[in-house]
Structure 1
């Protein structure tokens, strides 16, 4: 009995030691038996609600793989994946206070945000471009000389448009719009010859329009391509190591092509819209060498 008591004590001690090795997010997940996956309800096609009000999207599919890896790592076959809706203003506070563990959306990884949170390997690159009528022959920024362009008031996009306008002395008449719907309507009704926004959001707006074939997206950009990543808590190396390993393996495998095409080049729920947005050369290069750098210069296409 004494011998079996010693064996049991050793087993319990080993189990306790293993538990003590966990920290941060992994410890939280182990103790609660759940992982909190945050999403934004209208970040199409990265994360949004489908016709059944179920969270779906490109970034959520990536997060599902991270959750599966955590399940295996912690030996939690019944791990509960809890989805939590967030907004642009609540996502960082909810991450830093421990409410959410992963943010799966179209969140830009930049140096300013890195002071509060961190990110796993980049899953998308987006730059500011303009949409125009295909019949207008406007394809490059210099083509906008003397034209009218619309952008959303207070956005980074309108600031970038203003800077290029001044630097190149293009004489563009810049009109601020209150939101994306108003901005696209101005382009549609010819009150503006160009609509300036993140390129992927322009692709979504065009695909949802009455006549998608009537619009094109500019060849050149007002900004360098900025990285999007899955947001994690800062200073949590063990959890980030799992997320980085999973995403690196995905991005360097043929699976990423299938996943990308599912959300950007195929009909998606709830309306079967196809955004017809092929993978860029810069993103393809980034997938070959996964990185969580916030520096846009790190993602220049080879």
Structure 2
């Protein structure tokens, strides 16, 4: 009886061990693996999901008549998809803002962010970046005839508008500590507030401000640029394969002349 009991016990332990190993293999290598690389998922679905702006003229703006999102970031994303997957139409675009782009990336809602996102040491702690794809600089947008001509005019009593989650809001507090900074959800809201007189200036990257001035010529950029804002494509931290693929694709797009073609199409002021 003791022998039978021992054999039964050994058999039960063996079954439990095999079941545990099987469950572990399924968790780590199965279809629902949490550790599966984003690049593997892209290849499996044969499509890249990019997070892009919908409110940034010249870079990512939704056309109300067609419903399509248009701009430099959009065309660049399509060119990258062509290099990686062989077809510029193998893309899906999801709207992000400066506030939502990192959470959406980390939640797996998007594969990569192409949305006027400045590479910074602080952001490198949260996401990984590709090489620089566009070099911008922070500036000020004001109504023509404004007394604000540059940073030195942002004294106590002045108001500067910025977007939540942007490096611009942090920079302006450092560069002009006496001014009051009002933050909005997106650039469309901030520009509407500037036009309605809720602030003396709007600050962000000059590339974005050029789009606003292009939309309404009664506004102009003043004071030049006072920061360097290198844009990079962001991916979820740890996805080196995707970063490498995007860098290879970006280099190919630049070497072929396609990058300059896209830039000349949208950024005529640069």
> 2:225 aligned with 1:217, yes or no?
no
Q: Secondary structure at the match of 2:108?
A: coil
Per-residue deviation, 1:53: 0.8
Q: Which residue of 2 aligns with 1:13?
A: none
2:156, 2:99 → 1: CA distance? 36
Q: 1:57 to 1:133 in 2, by over 3 A?
A: closer
Q: 1:116-170 CA distances to partner (integer Å, 9 max, x unpaired)?
A: 221222222333322345445864433567884533487754554444345xxxx
Kindly tell me the number of residue pairs found equivalent between the two proteins. Answer: 228
* CA RMSD in angstroms, aligned pairs only: 3.3
Q: Which residue of 2 aligns with 1:226?
A: 229
> 2:102 aligned with 1:92, yes or no?
yes
Per-residue deviation, 1:101: 1.5
> 2:195 aligned with 1:184, yes or no?
yes
Q: Which residue of 1 aligns with 2:15?
A: none
Per-residue deviation, 1:111: 1.7
> 2:253 aligned with 1:250, yes or no?
yes
1:133, 1:143 → 2: CA distance? 14
Which sections of structure 1, spanning at least 5 residues, go unmatched? 1-22, 167-171, 266-276, 279-302
1:111 equivalent among 121, 124, 143: 121
Q: Which residue of 2 aligns with 1:42?
A: 55
Instruction: Please report the TM-score for the alignment, with normalisation by the length of structure 2.
Output: 0.68
2:207 equivalent among 200, 210, 214: 200
Instruction: Please report the TM-score for the alignment, with normalisation by the length of structure 1.
Output: 0.62
1:89, 1:146 → 2: CA distance? 27
Q: Which residue of 2 aligns with 1:14?
A: none
CA contact (8 A) 2:130 2:234 kept: yes
